Amino acid sequence: MQLDFNQGNCIYVIDTSALIILDFTFNYDNPVFKAIWEEVEDLISQGHFKTINFVEDEINSYEGKQDFLKKWVKKWRKHLVIEVDSATMNATIPIINEEY
């Protein structure tokens, strides 16, 4: 997927630890937190919530009993996961350098 980082749209990029914390803290099956997950999934559908394929690989490498995130990422993969290529990596360098 080719992203235009200069078009002004807000895109949230989430890493593995944040997804794990989201799942642990706001369990998907708990009706109290249903609205949080609906908002996240709406952002995914709109193209405003992404993760990279490295995160998908980390989640899929988990061998424990808690497999919700594996299933959830697989379900949303088409709209959620960005395959990192050299152009994407190069586009992130100025952003990271500006922030850190």
- In-domain check, residue 78: yes
Residue 64: the pLDDT is: 86
Q: Report the percent of the chain where pLDDT is more than 70.
A: 92
Residue 37: the pLDDT is: 97
Q: Which residues contact 14 (CB under 8 A, 6 or more apart)?
A: 22, 49, 50, 51, 55
- In-domain check, residue 7: no
Residue 59: the pLDDT is: 97
CA distance 1 to 32: 34
- In-domain check, residue 19: yes
Q: For tokens 């895109």, what's the residue? A: 11
Residue 100: the pLDDT is: 81
Residue 88: the pLDDT is: 83
CA torsion 9→87→52→79, rounded to 10°? 50
User: Number of structural domains, the chain?
Assistant: 1
Q: Report the percent of the chain where pLDDT is more than 90.
A: 76
Q: Please write down the HEC assignment for all residues of 44-80.
A: HHCCCEEEEHHHHHHHHHCCCCCCHHHHHHHHHHHHH
- In-domain check, residue 99: no
Q: Which residues contact 37 (CB under 8 A, 6 or more apart)?
A: 26, 28
Average pLDDT over residues 29-33: 96
Domain carrying residue 36: 12-87
pLDDT digits (tens, 9 = 90+) for 54-100: 999 999 999 888 899 999 999 999 999 999 999 888 988 998 899 88
